[in-house]
Chain A
Amino acid sequence: MLLLNEFRFLFRQPLVWLSLVILPLFSTLLAIGSGGENTDSGKQLIYLHSALIMLAVPILVGAISALLLIRDNTYNMHALVAATPISYTKRLLVRYSALSIFSISMTFVAMMLISIILWQRTGSFLLSTTLIHAAVFLLPSVLLMSAIAIWLSSKQYGVYSLYAVFAAIWLGYVALASLSGSPILAGSTIANNALLSMMIWLDPFGLTAYLQALLSGEHAAIDMQVLLNRLIILTLTSAIIYNALHQKTPPKPHSNLKIKQPQPINPKHSSTMYHQIGTQAAPIQILAELSRTALNNLISNKLNLLILCGWIVLVFSEASAGLDYAEPFSVVQPTSHDALNRVLWDVVANLGALLVLFWTWQLAWLNKRSQIHELIAASPVSSTVLVGSQIIATTAMLCILALATAVGTSLAEWLLQSEWNLTLYLQYLGLAFLPLLLLAGVFIAINTCCRHQLLAIGLSLFVLVVKFTSFTSLLGIAHPLWNIAGTPMVMGDMQWGFSASGESYIPFIGVWLLVIGSVMVLSVLRSHRGTAMIANREAFLSSRNIWLICFGLATLAVTHQLLKLQHPFIGFSTSDQWRAAYEKQYSHWHEIPQPTVIHINANVDFYPDDSMAELNLDMLLTNNTKERIERVLVGGFAAQDYQHIALDDASLTEFDEVLNQYQFTLATPMTEGETRHLTVKFIYRQPSLFAASMHQIVRPEFSYIRGIPIVPSVGFNPKYRIRNNDIREAHGVDRIPSLPPSEIFKHPQDDVGQYDWVTIHSVVSTTESQFAIAQGDLVRQWTTDDRAYFEYKSSGPIRNIPAWLSTPNAPTSTSVEGRQLSVFSPASAQIDAFHLQAMQSTVDWFTTNGMTHEFGHLNLISMPDIGPTGYALPGIVLINHKVGFRAYPNVHAGFDQRFRRTVHETAHQWFGHGIGNGVDHDRAFLIESLAKYIELVLIEQAYGKEAVTALVDYERERFRLQRANNQLLPLSLIDARASFEMYSAASVVFDTLRNEIGDQPIINALNVIWNHHKYPQRPATSMDFIRALKHQLGKDWDDRIDELFLSPLTIDSIVINKSSTARYPDSFTV
């Protein structure tokens, strides 16, 4: 009966109903947002259930326990309840039971939902696993959390303290799990073995012991460690409950009104008379007084003080951890850029938003909470002034938070002897905190007009969910404006500052000022003045309100249109929709003979200061088929606008504006070997409302235009299709059979695909102070009309990925056997020379080993921090400024990462842009995995065997962690898709193979596929390499080669290094 009574209370509380909605929604989002093709459903279920338990249980128990256990004091019911004939122990136990039963039931329903969603996706319903997870992990965890809650309530802690403790448990657990290498949390590593041991025994959720097996490549199981952990937790739970129930002194009620002896009446005042004094309105002074009181209340709140102190510690810890980190084995001399970038764009942006929500909520309901709301609301202070005081107080708190951030990062900088820069601090903090202030405006507006606290919190949290999660993407309505009060601003770097996104900042801030401003005015008109009662009889749809709503909506609509002009795929229009429509409408062109591009004559004019470039392309097409070509399809991706597009001897018969496809009909059909010119003219303008991204950027500090996908393609372009089969199905296009290369190319075959190579001639102009770069050899450069011109010409065909760049950095060059190598960077000549040396070593190695490749000059360019750390195009290598030009080896590194990176990207001229292209169904083995092999060889050559061992050990550990983290089924090296397979596993496999057979058989095999499959022969497949290698080694090695290259890459096979028992002869023949 008593228990039922508790549930009767619970189910009358809005928070409980809110949790009934949120928890299942959260679990559904978790389940929907993970997995896909080739997912290990058992492993996925373990991850999802573990994530749900660790993330949801503390929050659920914390929220409900505040409601259930502290309600007597919160609502001044203590005396009434305490007077009932139910013992304190009994009352506490009943409430403990209600809390536990409710939390267990709710979380179990959420776990079942996950299992059902996976069941629908994979076809296997893992009921027994779900029940085991509930019994072994959920049950003891909830019992422990509930015990902590009743202990806190028995010690008379208030609601805030309880929330603070559970928030600390939540955050603390995530931090500890991350430091003990939890495979659930991306990026976690084992920081300390003692911590790991402690977590195995004392993890409140028991997940560390359970998931340890996955880190070793085994299946997770309920073993003795798990059971002991659960036993310890249950014992601890019992002890906490015992302590809570056996207090020496009975709990006393909290009361706002402490009864004291009444003050004696002072007779001398008895005759004091009341005199009238006139009043005068002084809004500024009233605003100042209200703001001061509001700020005092926030600052004097102990929890806020704790948060601000904790903030400094958090920022310091985050900034100092890895302030000088560039990449493994590599560090930089840190600056304020690095320190501020480490905290501002994630810690400050995300946690800062939560703090803003908390503070604005505190301010909005301060009067109500203090029960002074009616006095304040009845005073002659306008609602505008009341709201204004909240804005001022929040602004002041944000300034304090900014100061706390600056203190934390400055301490970290001082500790690591970083280059501290005040100007950068002012710039970065201003840019990062202004959006937080705008967000505060949204929350203040919500609280001002929302009469129910819970609804106000719910709406504010919904704003955060929309802003920070992929919720809208899941609904298929991704849009930059869902980043409420946000801007596309991305972190600045030392090469180009905020050039990637700085231009978009002011327009977005302006838009949000107008929109949030009108929302705030509307909320002031609808203000309940802190009373939670309606004080305004004006209809919501009054003309004044309608004007405000229309103004806000019109601002958003205009912004949407401006965004749409710069980026076609926002809102309901997605790239996938375009791709699916393209495939549905034009895939039949795949069967229609089409000419191929064999030469590109390009005139490219960069205007970096205006963020634009003009491109004039003359493409020579030829008919390589035996059939006559009468119609030609020429199309651009999405909405790339072409000012001019014409085909010789052809008329434009159809133009599909939506899919940007042009259909030409030739006056005279093209016969075999015949050629035509396709001329295209267009302007590329850097979008000002989006952050710059690869691979089209035109900025004064760095300009780079890759032809794909803005240069039109001829015929149906299969690369435009959606690749993910689940997404294909969702958009109504057939699945593409995804057989692995090891199956497709198991046997030698001729029809595997064809090379798409062209010769390129480019004349590139830029501002006089810059250098333009293109593929091929630089044959001429001159200056006319304050512009610098550069003419490049490829000596032979290269892979058809044209690219043009402009950089303010002068080149440092060297020449190797007629091939010019150049480095364009803002770094010192010494660093440039180091890269030239690495490039030269790589080129030499290939030349020495008989793999000649005529791709012309090779240019290495420093690129700002815009995504990849390295990227190779034919004849061009881009390397991130931080890792390539600021970084240097740390004291423990046996080699230089800059050398490894340059070798890797240079090797792509052979593996990737030599062979490794032209075969649609092959994966990245011939590109990335072979480049990893070259890394090993050249690092050993330059730094010795120990350096290779250090690198391979690192790659092995990286593989182990990521394999444990990954829910996809393991693939072989040939079929690898994940980066940790094609990179890390490749290093380990090739190192193992080198140790077993040496380099020569591998080089011989590479020679075979290079010489038999280089352009214009039939392109190589990854299985061609396997066959060549097996041929080199003889039949005895077939099984070993299959084991290394064709067996699934598991932790067992990679981390637990197994050597072959086979012996390889000392000499061999090609």
Chain B
Amino acid sequence: MLSINSLNKVYSDGTHALRDINLQLPTGMIGLLGPNGAGKSTLMRTLACLQSADTGSVLLNGVDITKQPMKMRRQLGYLPQYFGVYPNMTCRALLQHMAILKGITNKYEQSQQIDNLLALTNLSEVADKKVTAFSGGMHQRFGIAQALLGSPNILIMDEPTTGLDPVERQRLHNMLVNISQNKLVLLSTHIVEDIENLCTYAAIMMRGEIVESDRVDALLSVPARNVWLTRNKPQNKRSILSMTHYMGICKYRVMSDVQPDSSAEKVNITLQDRYYLELAKQGYDNAVA
């Protein structure tokens, strides 16, 4: 559906934010993983036609949206990582405002869709309150509602679950799975588990480059390697994928062909393991003391 070809972007301070990005994004949910500063937001903003790349093209069903951004905007629902709202506007008024901007001018359709989205995001009861007075979670739910206005074919969501409580987070997951049947939903998040649970495809981005991209199940099949969970710190620090705590007790996830110690138990590989493996490969610190 979306074809990204040789996308490059260098900021004026010399930061190479995008390095020769090439991706084919089909319909369905696609996760974008990467550490802070990897270039995820730059890529998402570029795909949302909010900023331009220095070179490269982005084809939406064959149309280069870097040259014809309106083609993208007409089908896009976008939720940035951070956003604000106009003062003195109620939730419904602001959704109405956004609906009109998205071309939903028929009053009946407008009202129906807004009511639907308010219900979907659990904002119906506060629809007539000012958005500036919303809590963090409500603010985020408003963002999700506005992104869904107009039934976009492409949804780009940068950290959509930020500030949501577990139930709201689950509700969003359900909704995304529901709507992604015939749409492209590009999801960026630090919660790797979310991507593993929701996405069919994922791409890992580091230092402006796509270091891995494939179906999630393919990313999980690391050949001839096993993942172990142990309480003992292995001698070979390079084999440690991650260090976690459970009830205050330190636990290590270790990638090794052989059992690192007798207490180590073999566990299924997760996307997070794969992500940490890529971090280690790229020389990132994986916070193992």
Contacts and interface: CB of A to CB of B under 8 A. Distances in A.
B83 A279 contact: no
A370 to B, nearest CB: 5
A260 B130 CA distance: 13
A80 to B, nearest CB: 16
A463 interface: no
B88 interface: yes
B13 interface: no
A274 B116 contact: yes
B222 interface: no
B230 interface: no
B99 to A, nearest CB: 9
A189 B50 CA distance: 57
Leading 9 A-B pairs by shortest Cβ distance: A371-B84, A276-B151, A380-B73, A378-B78, A289-B100, A533-B51, A380-B74, A379-B101, A279-B103
B187 to A, nearest CB: 16
Given A256-B84, A272-B119, A379-B73, A279 B102 contact: yes
13 contacts: A257-B136, A260-B138, A263-B135, A266-B122, A266-B125, A274-B116, A274-B120, A274-B179, A286-B100, A370-B87, A379-B73, A535-B49, A537-B53
A105 interface: no
A: contact size bracket? 35 or more
Contacts of A830: none
A378 B133 contact: no
B: contact size bracket? 35 or more
B274 interface: no
Nearest to A285: B105
Interface in B62-96: 66-67, 69-70, 73-74, 76, 78, 80, 82-89
Contacts of A286: 100-101, 103, 105
Nearest to A382: B70
Q: Which of B73, B105, B143 has most A Cβ within 10 Å?
A: B105
B84 A372 contact: yes
Interface of A: 256-263, 265-266, 269-270, 272-282, 285-286, 289-290, 293, 296-297, 300, 366, 369-372, 374-382, 529, 531, 533-537
A378 B98 CA distance: 11
A534 to B, nearest CB: 5
A277 B49 contact: no
Contacts, number: 161
A300 B139 CA distance: 22
A381 B52 CA distance: 17
A365 to B, nearest CB: 12
Contacts of B51: 531, 533-535
B7 to A, nearest CB: 12
A487 B229 CA distance: 81
Contacts of A296: 88
A293 B94 CA distance: 10
Interface stretch (B164-172, B193-201, B203-211, B250-258): B164-172
Contacts of B262: none
B48 interface: yes
Interface in B194-245: none
Given A371-B83, A375-B78, A259 B135 contact: yes
A1046 to B, nearest CB: 70
B124 interface: yes
Given A263-B135, A265-B167, A372-B86, 17 more contacts: A256-B132, A257-B135, A258-B135, A262-B138, A262-B165, A266-B124, A270-B171, A273-B178, A275-B151, A280-B105, A282-B103, A290-B100, A297-B87, A372-B83, A376-B101, A535-B69, A537-B52
Contacts of A376: 101
B153 to A, nearest CB: 9
Given A263-B126, A274-B120, A374 B73 contact: no
A374 B104 CA distance: 19
A379 B79 CA distance: 11
Contacts of A293: 86, 89, 97
A430 B172 CA distance: 55
Interface string B106-132: 100100110011011011111000001
A257 B134 contact: yes
B85 A370 contact: yes
Interface string B139-167: 10001001010110000000000000101
Given A277-B104, A277-B112, A279-B103, A370 B84 contact: yes
Contacts of A534: 51-52
A10 to B, nearest CB: 21
B52 A535 contact: yes
Contacts of B82: 371
A276 B83 CA distance: 25
A258 B134 CA distance: 7
B101 A269 contact: no
A374 B171 contact: no
B267 interface: no
B45 interface: yes
A303 B45 CA distance: 34
B122 A269 contact: yes
Contacts of A273: 120, 178
Contact of B116 (A275, A290, A381): A275
B134 to A, nearest CB: 7
Given A256-B132, A257-B136, A265-B168, A380 B102 contact: yes
Given A371-B82, A379-B102, A535-B49, A300 B132 contact: no
